[in-house]
Amino acid sequence: MLDFYLIPDHQRQPGYPEEVELELAGELDYKTFGNLQKSGIIGSNYDYYTDFRWDTDIIKQICHKINLNQRLHHGDIENLLAILNKARSLNMGLLAYAD
C-alpha cells in the first residue's frame, strides 16, 4: 500500500511518518495508483514504490484535472478524491510512503 499522510507545506519532510506523528489521510493500492496514472490524473513522474510529497498547489492541480474529466469518476478516482479532499479541507499537503 501507498500511505498518504497529512503534512503542512512548511514542515520539513521527516524520515518516517511516526517521527512527527503525522495523521494518515488514506491509502492507495498498486492497481489503483496505476489506473490513476494511465488516466493522466497522477503524473508519470511519481513512482508507487518511492516516497513522494504533494504540496497544496499540486493537490489543487490534481483536483483540477479530475474536475476537467468528469467522465473519469469511478472507484479509483473516488479513493483519491477522499484523500485529496481531506488534505484540502485542512489546507495541508500530503506525504506518500510506500510500505
Cβ(63)–Cβ(35) below 8 Å = no
By mean pLDDT, which of 16-20, 35-39, 62-66 is the weakest? Answer: 16-20
Per-residue model confidence (pLDDT) at position 19:
82
* Reported pTM: 0.92
Cβ(79)–Cβ(4) below 8 Å = no
Mean pLDDT of 42-69: 94
> What share of the chain has pLDDT > 70, as a percent?
96
| Cβ within 8 Å of residue 28, ≥6 positions away | 1, 2, 4, 36, 79, 80, 83
Angle at CA of residue 13, ends 25 and 90, nearest 5°: 35
Per-residue model confidence (pLDDT) at position 57:
98
Mean pLDDT of 5-18: 90
CB atoms within 10 A of CB 86: 17
Mean pLDDT of 63-81: 83
What integer best gives the mean pLDDT of the chain? 92
Please state, in angstroms and rounded to a whole number, the distance separating the CA atoms of residues 85 and 22. Answer: 17
